[in-house]
Structure 1
Amino acid sequence: MFKKSLKISLIVIVLFSLTFTIACSNTKNSDTNHKVRLFEVTHSIFYTPLYVAIEKGFFKDQGLDVELTNANGGDKTMTALVSGSADVILVGTETTIYVYSQNPKDPAINFAQLTQTDGSFLVSREPIKNFTWDMLKGKTLLGQRKGGMPEMVSEYVQHLNGVEPKVDNEIIQNIDYANLGSAFVSGTGDFVQLFEPIASKIELEGKGHVVASFGHGSGKLPYTVFITKQSLIDKNPEIVQKFANAIYMAQQWVNEASLEEIADVITPQFQDFNRDVMLKVLDRYRSQGSWATDPIVDEEEYRNLEKVMEYAGELKEKIPYEAIVNTEFAKKAMEQ
């Protein structure tokens, strides 16, 4: 009887162990199968911490399979989220303000910040040792798209420095973003507002000179942020949390790594890049503190964004910070 009871007990233990193992295995497989469709506004070294999270495997460590798509524009990026083509998008917070003002049933929510300054630079034809913004008076500037953050920041920075854009100077805005650099090199305009790596490439070719940073001039902003729908937060908060965890891990790594180490990690994302240009761009962004060191979308930065949008005439109504910003996931990521 004892032997029979012992045998039954051992069978039960074995079955329990197998069940537990299978359950754990299924949980693990479930975690690794959490696919996240991420659309970015453009593919740029400006978003280095994101690519570090991908290449260092921080998303995979969190059980996320991130599929990255370049949407090539802010409008297209938000459209991907609203239409359901994207689960998470990387774009400026201003897009969530525009969407919320239309009273959506499922608002777009900012949950993790990636960059905290503008990422564009002012490029002149000739080197200027002691540039001041009033040098834009009476000149022609190749600008960015109306209503977009780069153009709003440009006009705001000029205004703060005593230059009234489009009054004291001419701003050309009918040239496509991808063609701004070539248009400038071909002879259009006295100055141009460019993102990296185009600014550094033109500089290394001796066809232009970076004389000022719009990021320095405007102060900190929730410039590019990870955004998702409220419905995803309600249904799958664990996915949003894991995403925020991976981003914070990348931010910490980038903050401590050397420029050479960072370049090594993100090279697979930019295989055609000249190494010297990449290092120069990385140094430029790190030096001006463009990368947020934590994923919290700060309220003070949000208020600064409102000022930029107000001056540009693009803020139709002020949207409460709490209505479109959720800091819960960012804070938990930092606690962990």
Structure 2
Amino acid sequence: MKRRTFIASGAVLAGGALSGAPLAFAQAKPEQSKVAIAVGGKNLFYYLPLTIAERRNYFKDEGLDVEISDFAGGAKALQAAVGGSADVVSGAYEHTLLLQAKNQMFREFVLQGRAPQIVLAVSKKTMPNYKSIADLKGKKIGVTAPGSSTSIMASFVLAKAGLTASDVAFIGVGAGAGAIAALQSGQIDALANLDPVMTKLERSGEIRIVSDTRTLADTKSVFGGNMPAGCLYASQSFITKNPNTTQALTNAMVRALKWLQTASGTDLISTVPEGYLLGDRALYLDSWQHVKEALSPDGLMPADGPATALKTLQAFDQTVKGKPIDLSKTWTNDFVKKALVTVKA
């Protein structure tokens, strides 16, 4: 019996070492205490768990000194990781698939959102007679940044209507006041963005929503299944070299996700930076109610999520079409499963 137990333990050790998964008896101390995280549009609810983990000192509690750099969009944050100036990205899961298509192995290890929260809307000012997606041909669509998850969502909606990305002009407008100003001034005809930006424009009567992924039902209607959204991902080499650091990051994020499940509006307002509120606390709380369901309650990747993301990209992205993507190498629930056993809200 003792010999069988020893062999089984050895198998777990070998499997964990090969996959980069956390070991049940790994030392708690992070291999790398200083971690650089890149994010594109940190003020968005899409990345709210990251802000909560930072503001409530959950990263520090795990022995980490985290530096978060905010970029105009997810594609820019991704470039920081590929270029070596960031260790980890808080971004869209789809980017791990796009990277593998270019022979760069990155892996998601904790999910922040189980729905994209992205809204595609047209400007009532420049497109008052809008009738269908086909009317967007030749128009300017604002996105957080070209190549980001907002442009991916818009491209997929266009593809379903028989249009391609080349039929429109994607304009990077960021994820805050700049996006609002671009639509209000008529610089763009449509906007693919997230809350609180979209709720603000919707409440002021300046947009008409044509596609919405803020709820699980709407997301399944648009994508045909569960569509994973924001997550923490890193290169496989980083995860393999730093399993304890990766576990510490996951612990902090899972703790933030748990906190968000029971936090009151007052708790939220008192935690996030004032600048996130766009000058309107009531608006921010209203937006929060729109997207609360979209945040992951536990950090786990849904079983059908990776396949839905791949199918979405294959519908329009030439980078992925025809490429043999190994989905199993783009995500793992191993770190989250361990965190769920040990982490308290």
Q: Name the TM tier (shorter chain).
A: 0.7 to 0.9
Which of 297, 305, 311 aligns to 2:309? It is 305
Alignment partners' CA distance in 2, 1:136 and 1:151: 15
Alignment partners' CA distance in 1, 2:327 and 2:198: 34
Which of 319, 322, 334 aligns to 2:328? It is 322
Alignment CA distance shift 1:70-1:311 (3 Å): same
* Cα deviations by residue, 1:30-54 (Å, 9 ceiling, x for unpaired): 7799222111122223211111111
Alignment CA distance shift 1:192-1:231 (3 Å): closer
- Report the counterpart of residue 201 of structure 1 in structure 2: 200
User: Could you list the runs of 5+ residues in structure 1 that have no partner in the other structure?
Assistant: 1-26, 128-132
Alignment CA distance shift 1:333-1:273 (3 Å): farther
User: Could you list the runs of 5+ residues in structure 2 that have no partner in the other structure?
Assistant: 1-26
Could you tell me which amino acid in structure 2 is paired with residue 213 of structure 1?
D
Alignment partners' CA distance in 2, 1:35 and 1:269: 26
Is contact 1:306-1:318 (8 Å) kept?
no
Alignment CA distance shift 1:164-1:31 (3 Å): closer
User: Which stretch shows the higher mean deviation, 245-254 or 189-198?
Assistant: 189-198
- Report the counterpart of residue 176 of structure 1 in structure 2: 172
Q: Secondary structure of the residue that 1:312 maps to in structure 2?
A: coil
Alignment partners' CA distance in 1, 2:211 and 2:204: 18
Alignment CA distance shift 1:67-1:271 (3 Å): farther
Alignment CA distance shift 1:124-1:272 (3 Å): closer
Larger CA Rg, structure 1 vs 2? 1
Give the alignment's Cα RMSD to 1 decimal: 3.2
Alignment CA distance shift 1:80-1:158 (3 Å): closer
- Report the counterpart of residue 225 of structure 1 in structure 2: 231
1:15-94 mapped onto 2 (5 Å cutoff):
34-46=33-45, 47-94=47-94
Aligned residues with identical type, % of pairs: 23
- TM-score normalised according to structure 1 size: 0.76
1:293 maps to 2:291: no
- Report the counterpart of residue 132 of structure 2 in structure 1: 135
1:2-17 mapped onto 2 (5 Å cutoff):
none
Alignment partners' CA distance in 1, 2:99 and 2:84: 15
Q: CA deviation at 1:263?
A: 2.2
Q: Secondary structure of the residue that 2:295 maps to in structure 1?
A: coil
- Report the counterpart of residue 101 of structure 1 in structure 2: 101
Could you tell me which amino acid in structure 2 is paired with residue 301 of structure 1?
G
- Report the counterpart of residue 260 of structure 1 in structure 2: 266
Which of 228, 248, 258 aligns to 2:254? It is 248
Alignment partners' CA distance in 2, 1:319 and 1:58: 34
Could you tell me which amino acid in structure 1 is paired with residue 55 of structure 2?
E
